[in-house]
Chains A and B, each alone.
Chain A
């Protein structure tokens, strides 16, 4: 699995976004889960809650410490990943798959343009170009 997949957008705070029409899925990156270590607890907003770009939307706790998850975009939560709440280790094993966090209905699609491209995110975390390839 790529550590920075080419089909996603990213935030500087190490969240990823997959926009699909009006709805975007949000998770944290491979780099983020590696920095955190073993994730043991995930706190996510309920369906219907509003998240605001750059504000904390939830928390991931590793054995070591708690870290905020920042909303890379604004919107209303249409689904939260119940599986990741029950099995927080999914954040480590599948950060871009079963370890996703929430899906939101986008409040402002223009915000997507502010996110980092895969290559920008790679340089942000100090990965050389192409290092994220399979």
Chain B
């Protein structure tokens, strides 16, 4: 099988996906599994039991040195200076125009070492952006291509991971990060994810990825763990209303209209801070709203209408297997973003009724 474009990358788990019968698709320059058994079955496995994801395509940037925290505090919109060792935080890389370069998670691994996880499609762009803003006393190391990421997510994730690691994952708080061994491999473990469920992300060297993958699949067999493809990853994240870079946010959107104002610590200096503060003070002209569509599935790029006039655009849409509704995120004028507003989504030329609803569409039971 030598039909793939020569530029396509494979994660160290490619053979595992093939063995499991995954359907592979090109994604961000990688051949990635979109589904194994089926998107709905995989989605339900994560909500009800546990799922295992290969996210080795994601990028890992390391910042080391006395100036690492300061550089990151200026690069990232959220409070990085306030991050304690063993803590992680979601934030945005923003540019001077106050729009979004990427959304990232910053992990403080030790006193003077941070890991930043970036979107696979943005690795090269983010690297350039980071290098252009690098401060004093900091060493930057892009280890994206040598680092594998296996995520285990779902209500049974903790007990499964606990049986395969010496790290105390039971007492690791949400957005906590620690070091340990998983399936005997040296790993960085964090209680983070992109599904709306409890779960962990396990970072290991590429050479250890297969052992971690096999170890967690075997450890989770009785609990009903399943391998999960990118298809279910998208339905899970959308129900939980997590933004997807390239769909909901990009360099034409600012954090305020994207509903990510909460990630911007405006009383500190960071790239684009003044523009974002001004946007917030003026109030955004448009806003991302959650929609439920009554018949038909909205997709990225579909127009949002009211009384036949185009008023906005869908950025993400799918059928939500847990909420059992057709859900979407869309940019609409702020005046039309109030919960309960009646709108429509133009699907194949027809204006299908839609209502603005509260998000997240799904919240995990306490």
Contacts and interface: CB of A to CB of B under 8 A. Distances in A.
Partners in one complex: yes
| Interface SS, A side | strand
Nearest to A61: B297
B326 A41 contact: yes
Interface in A57-74: 59, 61-66
A133 to B, nearest CB: 22
A91 interface: no
Interface residues of A, number: 12
What interface size band does chain B fall in?
10 to 19
A5 interface: no
B195 to A, nearest CB: 15
22 contacts: A37-B35, A37-B38, A38-B38, A38-B39, A38-B41, A38-B319, A41-B295, A43-B296, A43-B348, A61-B296, A61-B297, A61-B319, A63-B39, A63-B40, A63-B231, A63-B235, A63-B318, A63-B319, A63-B321, A64-B231, A66-B299, A66-B348
Interface in B7-64: 34-35, 38-41
A37 to B, nearest CB: 6
Contacts of B321: 38, 63
B343 to A, nearest CB: 19
A40 interface: yes
Contacts of B348: 43, 59, 66
Contacts of B34: 64
List of 6 A-B pairs having minimum Cβ-Cβ separation, nearest first? A40-B319, A38-B40, A63-B39, A61-B297, A41-B297, A38-B39
Interface in A34-60: 37-38, 40-41, 43, 59
Interface of A: 37-38, 40-41, 43, 59, 61-66
Contacts of B295: 41
A39 to B, nearest CB: 9
A66 B38 CA distance: 16
Contact of A37 (B231, B297, B299, B326): B231
Nearest to B235: A63
A65 B319 CA distance: 10
A83 to B, nearest CB: 16
Contacts of B319: 38, 40-41, 61, 63
Contacts of B299: 65-66
Contacts of B231: 37, 63-64
Contacts of A63: 39-40, 231, 235, 318-319, 321
Interface string B235-262: 1000000000000000000000000000
Given A37-B231, A41-B326, A63-B319, 7 more contacts: A37-B39, A40-B319, A40-B326, A41-B296, A41-B297, A64-B231, A66-B348
A64 B326 contact: no
A40 B296 CA distance: 9
Interface in B293-321: 295-297, 299, 318-319, 321
Contacts of A66: 297, 299, 348
A40 to B, nearest CB: 4
B38 A40 contact: no
B357 to A, nearest CB: 18
Interface in B132-147: none
A11 to B, nearest CB: 21
A43 B295 CA distance: 9
A64 B39 contact: yes
Contacts of B326: 40-41
Nearest to A63: B39
B21 to A, nearest CB: 12
Interface string B313-342: 000001101000010000000000000000
Contacts of A59: 348
A88 B127 CA distance: 45
B91 to A, nearest CB: 30
Contacts of B38: 37-38
A43 B349 CA distance: 13
A117 B336 CA distance: 54
A106 B297 CA distance: 31
Interface string B212-253: 000000000000000000010001000000000000000000
A23 to B, nearest CB: 27
A88 B299 CA distance: 18
Contacts of B35: 37
A38 B42 CA distance: 11
Which has the most chain A C-beta neighbours within 10 Å: B34, B40, B299, B321? B40
A41 B235 CA distance: 15
A65 B234 CA distance: 13
A38 B34 CA distance: 13
